[in-house]
Structure 1
């Protein structure tokens, strides 16, 4: 028995979630493989914040759906576990949600540990 997965239309999406350039603000850098035909998103996130032990990285999975809501053409929800890039060997849950256009620009939010960020820019990496 052979199993084939339908990866037709798969693409790479990269960018940021957060107020880039705002001193001390947490920012998420993401790199996702998106398979719209399966409504799946998988990839990695890297959270940076200008505080001690403020950087985290991890793998995430999620879903993507078309909306039909004007300029917001897609919604994405992801979750996974991230771990500290510092000396503290901790792993914590991470979640993010995005309301974006076809170019992966829009608005979103994310949460990890005691940090909850809402209504921040989502900007694709050119």
Structure 2
């Protein structure tokens, strides 16, 4: 990999959700952004102050794309998707794959707003920012 290719990769640590609201699901993203092709890849963690095991959802891997945008002060729109394993609560036995999706609009500093869905939960119109 050439030196200029390394400069096109940005490590992003983002947090989305209503921070400070008790019980609100908070999305944490650790992703790599390739500015050359707009690709995002990494992992997500959704944390929520609810009874275990539902208070922590790990989604690996997540992937998506960033697109340029010219809407008010927002300059980027990005989407992410992935799957995670859900264990069926007793007395049933088993696991299944649930879907995760996210869509956000941000400025050049990755500050903005958007929504994310995991399983049958949708969290709308939440802020996102770097952590």
Q: Which TM-score band applies after superposition, normalised by the shorter structure?
A: 0.7 to 0.9
Contact 1:57 1:84 in 2 (8 A): no
Number of matched pairs: 121
| Matched residue, 1:71 | 73
Q: 1:4-23 residue pairs with structure 2 within 5 A?
A: 6=5, 8-23=7-22
Tell me, which stretches of 5 or more residues in structure 1 are unaligned? none
Tell me, which stretches of 5 or more residues in structure 2 are unaligned? none
CA RMSD after TM alignment = 2.2
Q: Is 1:34 matched up with 2:36?
A: no
TM (normalized to structure 2)? 0.83
Assess, with a 3 A threshold, how the Cα gap between structure 1 residues 84 and 17 changes in structure 2: closer, same or farther: farther
User: By how many angstroms is 1:78 displaced?
Assistant: 0.5
Contact 1:110 1:118 in 2 (8 A): yes
| Matched residue, 2:109 | 103
| Matched residue, 2:56 | 55
